[in-house]
Structure 1
């Protein structure tokens, strides 16, 4: 894995936040992870920190969240400057079995992969090491 990644975890469930963070740290070691609780906070974080990016950004995005869900986040994300989007990879995390959600995630051009929770860290590590 490249050492110059920053992570943004957009997840409303505190237990899932802890589990995902622990899995990542156990597998990837030291890195910078930022956690927000919904898509709206994720967009606000991106606008606030976009000029400070010296690293690539990996977003781990939940689908079902209050206030702004993962798909609404993606609609707002589309409006961000290309400089931000060109250095960002988005992976969706979900426990959904809704075939419409799965199809929507797989068809979204910004989503690199939809993973079931908990995050399969070895597969994830291989994908970001490329």
Structure 2
């Protein structure tokens, strides 16, 4: 399984972030792990790390749908406007607790690599890595 140079977790729930960090560290799938508590923080991190070396830019973003300040949908709208040099190389996977047909329909129309039902598991992470990084 490939090891990523940088991964970004975006979730307003501290417990979820903690558990996802533990999982990703245990699986040893990323060298650097960034955490944002909302979409606005995530945009700032992406801009900062994209201006540094390409290796510090997140290759994978796990993005929560429902967050205060800026939710996942608002993040994606703002993200589309960012002039990031290697934006096409960033894989975004939405994380949700709702598999309501209306929510799924909305997620399927977004410019993302896919969506997963929470919580993240070893199998889900491995599937994302296999699908997008092998």
Q: Same fold (TM over 0.5)?
A: yes
Q: Which runs of 5+ in 1 are unaligned?
A: none
Tell me the TM-score normalised to structure 1 length.
Answer: 0.87
- Tell whether the 8 Å contact from 2:99 to 2:117 is kept in structure 1 after alignment: no
Equivalenced residues, count = 129
Q: Which runs of 5+ in 2 are unaligned?
A: none
For residue 108 of structure 1, what is the aligned residue in structure 2?
A: 110
Indicate the SS of the match to 1:81. Answer: coil
**Residue deviations 1:19-50 (CA, integer Å, cap 9, x gap):** 11112122235521100100011111112221
Tell me the TM-score normalised to structure 2 length.
Answer: 0.85
Tell me how far 1:5 sits from its aligned partner. Answer: 2.6
For residue 41 of structure 1, what is the aligned residue in structure 2?
A: 41
Distance in 1 separating the partners of 2:5 and 2:29 = 12
- Tell whether the 8 Å contact from 1:61 to 1:92 is kept in structure 2 after alignment: yes
**Residue deviations 1:54-113 (CA, integer Å, cap 9, x gap):** 23521010000001000000000101225331120001111123333222222212x111
Q: Which has the higher contact order (CA 8 A, sep 6+)?
A: 1
Q: RMSD between aligned alpha carbons? A: 1.8
- Tell whether the 8 Å contact from 1:94 to 1:114 is kept in structure 2 after alignment: yes
